[in-house]
Amino acid sequence: MAYRINLNGISFHGKGAIAEIPALLKAGGFKKVFVATDPGLLAIGTTAKVTDLLKAAKIKFDLFSDIKPNPTIENVKAGVKAFKASKADCIVAIGGGSAMDTAKAVGIIATNPKFSDVRSLEGLSPTKKPAVFTIAVPTTSGTAAEVTINYVITDRAKDRKFVCVDPHDIPQIAVVDSGMMLSMPDKLAAATGMDALTHAIEGYVTRAANDMTDMFHLKAIELIAANLRQSVNGKGAKKEAAREKMALAQYIAGMGFSNVGLGIAHSMAHPLSAFYDTPHGVACAILLPPVMKFNAPATARRYIDIARAMGVKGADAMPLAKARKAACEAVAKLGADVGIPPDLKGIVQAKDIPFLAHSAYVDACRPGNPRDVTEEEIAKLYKSLI
């Protein structure tokens, strides 16, 4: 059976990689940059690490920072308007998933204006032209939006998130510079790191998994298990080294899941962010252990591999049921060690569960789940956590 792999044409990795950006823009003949960034990053000077390089190289740019966590349709429309007004010919997206997802949608609509309503991009987007040339610079270690063909937009009118899947939206260049991630608060490092782990584990057990994506996912799990605690709780040089490993781990996970899809941990997390503004990584981290337990019967021997990659000693010699239990427990322990809440108490209200369950069931990530699931079973999973 044939399968398709979509990745960036070029990616740069390592501390200081952003220094490559001016030369890349000049080599491409670009005249003006539309810099899409998170307002918080603008305020603390993280964005300036890139824009100062543009200034020094005498490259013109306009800043767009009207970007919110869990970007909305309105954010995207404002971005498209600002991009057109700037007369820029390329995009540099600086930030976490919110900034990069907004930039992806702006870049797609700029070249495919018939989708300016934004909602019509949901699912397998039938666009015809590649997005505006984009360089993506992540500042968190989790979403991997810089290497995926996916982006997620919130529809406030319907209190839901929708996933857009489109090979035309992948940034042409990713610049994964761990120096851009050093300013992350520890809570954000924990949430985004657990999001990356969810990508890797769901990608490894999804229905479309293949040998190439398995390679990416298992290495990502191994790196995250070995480095996330230090990335959040460490100090000095050890923390910095761990964040560099996490920058690589989340990118590797993105290389995998972008090509095979995810599962119900993500489909259940999306409505939590849309309805309650729960940080996406936190929602994924809380949901991952119970979803793993639910999915275990449909995963053959794959949890043995996950347990091994998570650092569980003797995983290969364990009976299958014990290895599955150990894998789930190792994931839950990692989440607890970096401060993730154990449940959804104080977040989800029982009266909202029917709406949440329906939203999760119709989410684009649900069909990739390794085990068939009903709307009622999703509701039961939510209920078990409140």
Residues 209, 139, single domain; the answer is no
Residues 235, 98, single domain; the answer is no
Token readout for 143 is 């979403």
339 part of a folded domain = yes
Half-sphere exposure of 271 (CA within 13 A, CB side): 26
Greatest Cα-to-Cα distance within the chain, rounded to the nearest angstrom = 63
Q: In this structure, what DSSP letter does residue 169 have?
A: G
Residues 209, 264, single domain; the answer is yes
Residues 125, 44, single domain; the answer is yes
User: pLDDT value at position 251?
Assistant: 98
Is residue 70's pLDDT more than 90? no
Contact 138, 193 (CB under 8 A): no
User: pLDDT value at position 3?
Assistant: 86
279 part of a folded domain = yes
User: pLDDT value at position 366?
Assistant: 97
Per-residue pLDDT tens digits for 235-254: 999 999 999 999 999 999 99
Residue that is last in its domain, among 181, 203, 229: 181
Question: Could you tell me the pTM of the whole model?
Answer: 0.95
Average pLDDT over residues 134-158: 95
Per-residue pLDDT tens digits for 283-330: 999 999 999 999 999 999 999 999 999 999 999 999 999 999 999 999
User: pLDDT value at position 61?
Assistant: 98
Average pLDDT over residues 184-202: 97
Per-residue pLDDT tens digits for 319-374: 999 999 999 999 999 999 999 999 999 999 999 999 999 999 999 999 999 999 99
Residues 19, 67, single domain; the answer is yes
Per-residue confidence band for 384, with pLDDT thresholds at 50, 70 and 90: very high
Per-residue confidence band for 69, with pLDDT thresholds at 50, 70 and 90: confident
Contact 335, 194 (CB under 8 A): yes
Q: Domain with 22 in it: what CATH number?
A: 3.40.50.1970
Closest CA to 196 of 134, 137, 243: 243
Q: In this structure, what DSSP letter does residue 256 have?
A: H
Residues 168, 232, single domain; the answer is no
Contact 127, 167 (CB under 8 A): no
Strand ranges in 181-319 using DSSP code E only, listed in sequence order = none
Contact 381, 290 (CB under 8 A): yes
User: pLDDT value at position 259?
Assistant: 96
Residues 378, 229, single domain; the answer is yes
306 part of a folded domain = yes
What totals of helices (H) and strands (E) does the chain contain, helices first? 14, 9
Residues 174, 199, single domain; the answer is no
246 part of a folded domain = yes
Percent of the chain with pLDDT over 70: 100
Residues 235, 116, single domain; the answer is no
Contact 235, 119 (CB under 8 A): no
Residue-range definition of the domain harbouring residue 19? 10-181
Residues 207, 118, single domain; the answer is no
349 part of a folded domain = yes
Is residue 1's pLDDT more than 80? no
What secondary structure does DSSP assign to 35-63, as a single string? EEE-HHHHHHTTTHHHHHHHHHTT-EEEE
User: pLDDT value at position 68?
Assistant: 87
**CA distances, 337 to each of 87, 198, 309, 334 (Å):** 47, 16, 17, 5
99 part of a folded domain = yes
Number of separate domains in the chain: 2
Closest CA to 13 of 141, 134, 128: 141
Residue that is last in its domain, among 128, 152, 181: 181
User: pLDDT value at position 159?
Assistant: 87
- Average pLDDT over the chain, rounded to whole? 96
User: pLDDT value at position 199?
Assistant: 98
Q: Domain with 373 in it: what CATH number?
A: 1.20.1090.10
Residues 218, 293, single domain; the answer is yes
| Three-class SS state of 153 | strand
Closest CA to 202 of 117, 102, 299, 297: 299
Residues 350, 378, single domain; the answer is yes
265 part of a folded domain = yes
Average pLDDT over residues 69-95: 96
Residue that is last in its domain, among 124, 156, 181: 181
